[in-house]
A and B are shown apart, each in its own frame.
Chain A
Amino acid sequence: SAVISQKPSRDICQRGTSLTIQCQVDSQVTMMFWYRQQPGQSLTLIATANQGSEATYESGFVIDKFPISRPNLTFSTLTVSNMSPEDSSIYLCSVEDGRGGYTFGSGTRLTVV
């Protein structure tokens, strides 16, 4: 199955700033998925990124807050904009593994102070 390189692995950011998270996949994939995991909670899908089209956002998530780029079939970025302490979470990217299951990146642990 695909291998995903995600970075940064962690960061501590000041409120009001933005952080861009990158995911690089070792094979071409149609869809890439971005998730958020708030402290003590399970994973919630933020958006689905298709190459060549605008990302599709889930209810409660908006493009102005979480802009996504998908310039090619192996790469995507998620930006967390104008951060507040409530954005402190683990952010993960994911792709389908070819068998109907999913592979995840190593996660970005974000702390906003």
Chain B
Amino acid sequence: KQEVTQIPAALSVPEGENLVLNCSFTDSAIYNLQWFRQDPGKGLTSLLLIQSSQREQTSGRLNASLDKSSGRSTLYIAASQPGDSATYLCAVRTGGSNYKLTFGKGTLLTVNP
């Protein structure tokens, strides 16, 4: 059974700092991995999707890496801003025909002005 863990559970940083969020998964036979952002009480916004054959994806100030063999992904946020404050969720899809996502519990990020 796939399990996804996100560390740290919460992170508070000053504005402008670069930061890294971590995600680990137990079954390396994944189809892809997706990072989401969730604002309080709201739905999920997709940030980056990494296919199993890829090592990283970039979008603006965000960069996500994937090391399938070690069961790890990181989300790097450069030059953090107060608007980046949210919960960041990592989700793993295991197998192409398996549509189910396994989510981590998320990292609550606070960026202080």
Contacts and interface: CB of A to CB of B under 8 A. Distances in A.
Interface of A: 1, 6, 10, 31, 33, 40-43, 45, 48, 90, 92, 96-97, 99-107, 109
Contact of A33 (B32, B42, B99): B99
Contacts of A103: 46
Q: Is the interface of B mostly helix, strand, loop or mixed?
A: strand
29 contacts: A1-B46, A10-B41, A31-B99, A33-B99, A40-B105, A41-B105, A42-B89, A42-B105, A42-B106, A43-B89, A43-B91, A43-B101, A43-B103, A45-B101, A48-B99, A92-B44, A96-B99, A97-B49, A99-B49, A100-B32, A101-B49, A102-B34, A102-B46, A103-B46, A104-B36, A104-B43, A104-B44, A104-B46, A105-B43
Nearest to A40: B105
B100 interface: yes
Contact of A101 (B34, B41, B89, B104): B34
Contacts of B96: 100
B81 interface: no
Q: Is the interface of A mostly helix, strand, loop or mixed?
A: strand
A90 B32 CA distance: 25
Interface string B82-113: 00000001010100100111011110000000
A100 B93 contact: yes
A109 B41 contact: yes
Interface centre among B32, B36, B101 (most CB of A within 10 A): B101
Nearest to A41: B105
Kindly list the 3 A-B residue pairs having the minimum CB-CB distance in the complex, ordered from nearest.
A107-B43, A101-B49, A104-B44
A42 B43 CA distance: 12
Contact of A6 (B31, B34, B43): B43
